[in-house]
Structure 1
Amino acid sequence: MNQEVLAIRHVHFEDLGSLERVLGERSRPVRYLDVGFARIEAPDPVVPSLMVVLGGPINACDDERYPTLVPLVSMIERRIAAGLPTLGICLGAQLIARVLGAKVYRAAQSEIGWSPLTLTDAGRASPVRHLDGAQTSMLHWHGDTFDLPNGATRLASTPACENQAFSWSNHVLGLQCHPEIRADRFEPWLIGHAAEIGGSDGCGVLQLRADTARLGPRLEEAARKMFTEWLDQVEGKV
């Protein structure tokens, strides 16, 4: 296995964010595969040391309208079956849940904005402990959710979303929320998701911008600690 990290990116501004800094400190090269600009099935998913499936504004089960989902699901299946470190964020977590046999569906309400996570006992005993609501708030940006996959461990929740973070086996982590956000690169989110913000529950552009400027730096530090600890754990087991 090489040291390359493969990041599946659906929209350009939803990248690895603060997590990429951790990889840079470890001299780990990152290869982005931009959905829509490259053949999804081209990279061998069992070659990179880590695969990260990032967020995006589409439904994880909408294969008819978004045919790129079928080869991507196949990649995730192969990766997980091989027992290799795999991380999903937002849409990525939904796709992992789908691969693991869980139902992905429209949430009762969209969750856009900042609110803290409530961790389970398992979450407090995991690297996700750094994201505990007592230490940092969290950015949320999703309209879909999923059931907890069989064999998975719930790590965190919010009142609006029961399954905010989960682990499966010792090599898979799914995060419905967005710990990777960087406050200094948030403006493209506000532009790219303008229509979605307009339909959210009263959380407008000005509030999102102000909250991110205020809460983002603390989350960046917490996310770096979480990701560093998780990498140490999963890469020591493969």
Structure 2
Amino acid sequence: MKPIRIFRHIACEGPGYLGEFLDRHQVPWELVCIDADRPVPPQVDDVSGLVFMGAQASVNDSLAWRDAELEVIRKAHQAGVPMMGICFGGQLMSKALGGEVTKGDGMEIGWYPLQRINGEEHTGWLDGLPTSFDTFHWHADTFSMPPGSEPLLKSKCFRNQAYIFGDHIGMQFHLEMTEEMVEAWLSKYGSDLMLTSRCAQSSTTITDDLSAKIKQLHQVSDVIYGNWLERVRRK
């Protein structure tokens, strides 16, 4: 099996639990550290899938590597290479495939429930999950649905939380979190909690019973990661 290529844009927003999941399923993967000035590999014929992680930036910012990643996404889409976008990565995929990225109504930070948009449909992606389940959030921007995609999940704070496009999935939320990552983000990005927002929890709320929250999150991760991996392996 060819490796899955994961793009990291900032050191504290790495693969986290996704790396553990891939290792457990004996799936080879490689990390492209854009934050360490690694160039964007332009080819897509040497990988089984592509994953785009989060970033402390907006897709609309003038980023030196942004256009190269947008082009890789378009190339992978044309070649039928399955992709997964996480937060900034989901926004990046949306922009590359014809959608828009805009500022949301404040920030969404903490543990908030998601709801299926189409009820019991799309079970191929959400099979085994309840109608509503909690995930971790930390974002200010939001994506629109790329033309040809289907909406998958929503929250009360941000309408567009996930879309599917063939074998691709773009998500606004974070399934990759570990306890250490949550603590690191609170240390690095904690000033965001001082901003006025109807959907930002306190650090105490975020970390209360954190081990149990992370365990439940990984149960969701296993389902969504697993259903994406099935698509990767079928290619």
How far is 1:194 from its partner? Answer: 2.0
Are positions 1:54 and 2:50 aligned together? no
Higher mean C-alpha deviation, range 172-181 or range 16-25? 16-25
Q: C-alpha separation between the residues in 2 aligned to 1:37 and 1:131?
A: 37
**TM-score normalised by length of structure 2:** 0.90
Are positions 1:151 and 2:148 aligned together? yes
Change (3 A) 1:187 1:200: farther
Q: Which of 78, 87, 92 in structure 1 is aligned with 2:89?
A: 92
Q: Is the 8 A contact 2:50 2:83 kept in 1?
A: yes
Change (3 A) 1:157 1:4: same
Higher mean C-alpha deviation, range 95-104 or range 202-211? 202-211
Tell me the equivalent position of 1:160: 157
One-letter code aligned to 1:220: H
Q: Which of 134, 139, 144 in structure 2 is aligned with 1:137?
A: 134
How far is 1:51 from its partner? Answer: 0.8
Q: Is the 8 A contact 1:165 1:176 kept in 2?
A: yes
How far is 1:203 from its partner? Answer: 2.1
Q: Is the 8 A contact 2:4 2:49 kept in 1?
A: yes
Tell me the equivalent position of 1:220: 218
Tell me the equivalent position of 1:173: 169
SS in 2 for 1:107: strand
Q: What does 1:1-238 align with in structure 2 at a 5 Å threshold?
A: 2-42=1-41, 44-63=43-62, 66-121=63-118, 124-130=122-128, 132=130, 134=132, 136-169=133-166, 171-199=167-195, 201=197, 203-210=201-208, 212-236=210-234, 238=235
How far is 1:133 from its partner? Answer: 5.4
Higher mean C-alpha deviation, range 206-215 or range 18-27? 206-215
One-letter code aligned to 2:227: E
Q: C-alpha separation between the residues in 1 aligned to 2:42 and 2:129?
A: 32
Q: C-alpha separation between the residues in 2 aligned to 1:165 and 1:132?
A: 16
Q: C-alpha separation between the residues in 1 aligned to 2:223 and 2:18?
A: 10
Higher mean C-alpha deviation, range 124-133 or range 94-103? 124-133
Higher mean C-alpha deviation, range 188-197 or range 3-12? 188-197
Change (3 A) 1:226 1:219: same
One-letter code aligned to 1:205: S
Q: Is the 8 A contact 1:131 1:226 kept in 2?
A: no
**TM-score normalised by length of structure 1:** 0.89
Q: Is the 8 A contact 2:15 2:176 kept in 1?
A: yes
Q: Which runs of 4+ in 1 moved over 6 A?
A: none
The gaps in structure 2 that reach 5 residues or longer are: none
How far is 1:232 from its partner? Answer: 1.1
Render the CA deviation track for 1:28-67: whole Å, top value 9, x for unaligned.
Answer: 222111113233333523311121000112111212xx22
One-letter code aligned to 1:67: A
One-letter code aligned to 1:125: T
One-letter code aligned to 1:77: R
SS in 2 for 1:13: coil
Q: C-alpha separation between the residues in 1 aligned to 2:169 and 2:24?
A: 21
Q: Is the 8 A contact 2:103 2:142 kept in 1?
A: yes
Render the CA deviation track for 1:170-193: whole Å, top value 9, x for unaligned.
Answer: x21101111121234421111121
Q: How many correspondences in the alignment?
A: 232
